[in-house]
């Protein structure tokens, strides 16, 4: 346990350092979604995803910073909060080989560092809000938490609504709800403010005139152009536009590639879920299944709507995995599941009993590949090598002023 905790903290620390380095290098680049998404604000009126951008503007005024520097500060802080929260969540996990693979899979923590287009996007706030829900802090009243934090999450990044089934499932499990009763209705009502806000956001996109006001505000006050994610508010603002824009990109190759990525990337977690069941056998919804695998897939399935709406499939897959693994490990560490069917991996993966083979497999599986950000992107190789190489290359070129790389 102590050795895992030590390895975990070094792993997170190294990735955090790499992440901060890349954020610093990217924050003054003029064509990057890591910044453009954070430029969205309320200067042209209410719009989806405007809250964090508006707060960044206030921070910029308060600290007398360039807007991009203000965004960088914000990104590093929320990035640090997420990694610290993740460490405290994972440090007490009882480790076996499947758990180890499910934590170090390249579609989880490593992914945003390997694909820096995804680094420090607004879902980081959502992960922190979810981790808070999973925490053992007794001061949190779960009902009022959802009344306040879920609408807040919607204002930050409204696709979080497709991950509400994870929160709702935890409510069913932790409240031991067995039927459609008063407890079920009370839990359901706690989601209404966020759902109503989500409906308002969906059916009230920012108009062209308001978008122009926001764009002019950014140009006049910060010399910023409303581009990429910020610009898409104008060109893909309606629900129809979001679905229609993806149709030309669909192909058998895309679907087959992502089928394999999901199968391989989620593989260890799926095996764990297949061999896990609830101690409470009569929980609402879950009582219809012998194990956790099918319920987990059903809870995750709204992510397919995101796939249909946009082309950042790699990013959405990463989001889906973050929620899935945190959901499973929360149940696992709180001793809610019966997992004795996964018996030191002997019955499932006997080949892993060979220590040398497992070490090689672990390195190749966890650091030998990762999926790309957009749906048409191929699979990348060896992020465990590419990430430090890229850092050395940038330092060598920008700061040491050599060009031998």
* Average pLDDT over the chain, rounded to an integer: 91
Domain ranges for the chain? 2-121+207-399
What's the Rg (C-alpha) of the chain? Answer: 22
In tens, the pLDDT along 314-337 reads 999 999 999 999 999 999 999 999
- Tell which wins on pLDDT, 345 or 54: 54
Q: In this model, does residue 403 exceed pLDDT 60?
A: no
C-alpha to C-alpha distance for 240 and 247, rounded to whole angstroms: 11
In tens, the pLDDT along 58-67 reads 999 999 999 9
The predicted model gives 88-106 an average pLDDT of 94
The pLDDT-based confidence of 237 (bands split at 50, 70, 90) is low
């Amino acid at each position: 346990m102590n050795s895992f905790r030590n390895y975990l903290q070094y792993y997170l620390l190294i990735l955090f350092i790499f992440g901060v380095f890349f954020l610093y290098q990217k924050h003054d680049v003029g064509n990057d979604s890591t910044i453009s998404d954070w430029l969205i604000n309320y200067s042209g009126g209410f719009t989806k995803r405007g809250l964090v951008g508006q707060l960044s503007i206030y921070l910029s005024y308060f600290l007398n910073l360039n807007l991009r520097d203000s965004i960088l500060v914000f990104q590093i802080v929320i990035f640090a909060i997420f990694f610290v929260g993740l460490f405290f969540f994972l440090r007490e996990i009882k480790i076996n080989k499947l758990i180890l693979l499910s934590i170090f899979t390249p579609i989880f923590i490593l992914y945003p560092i390997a694909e820096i287009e995804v680094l420090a996007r607004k879902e980081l706030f959502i992960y922190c809000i979810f981790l808070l829900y999973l925490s053992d802090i007794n001061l949190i009243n779960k009902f009022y938490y959802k009344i306040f934090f879920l609408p807040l999450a919607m204002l930050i990044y409204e696709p979080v609504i497709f991950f509400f089934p994870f929160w709702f499932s935890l409510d069913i499990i932790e409240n031991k709800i067995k039927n459609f009763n008063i407890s079920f209705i009370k839990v359901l009502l706690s989601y209404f403010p966020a759902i109503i806000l989500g409906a308002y956001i969906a059916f009230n996109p920012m108009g062209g005139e308001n978008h122009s006001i926001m764009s002019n505000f950014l140009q006049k006050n910060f010399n910023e152009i409303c581009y990429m994610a910020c610009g898409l508010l104008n060109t893909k603002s309606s629900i129809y536009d979001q679905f229609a824009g993806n149709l030309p990109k669909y192909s058998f190759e895309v679907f087959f590639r992502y089928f394999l990525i999901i199968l391989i990337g989620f593989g260890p977690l799926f095996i764990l879920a297949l061999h896990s069941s609830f101690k409470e056998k009569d929980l609402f919804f879950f009582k219809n299944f012998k194990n956790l695998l099918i319920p987990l897939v059903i809870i995750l399935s709204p992510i397919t709507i995101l796939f249909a709406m946009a082309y950042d499939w790699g990013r959405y897959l990463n989001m889906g995995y973050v929620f899935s693994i945190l959901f499973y490990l929360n149940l696992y560490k709180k001793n809610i599941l019966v997992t004795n069917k996964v018996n030191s991996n002997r019955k499932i993966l006997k080949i892993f009993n060979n220590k040398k083979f497992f070490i090689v497999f672990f390195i190749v599986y966890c650091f030998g590949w990762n999926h790309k950000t957009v749906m048409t992107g191929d699979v990348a190789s060896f992020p465990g090598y590419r990430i430090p190489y890229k850092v050395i290359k940038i330092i060598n070129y920008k700061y040491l002023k050599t060009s031998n790389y």
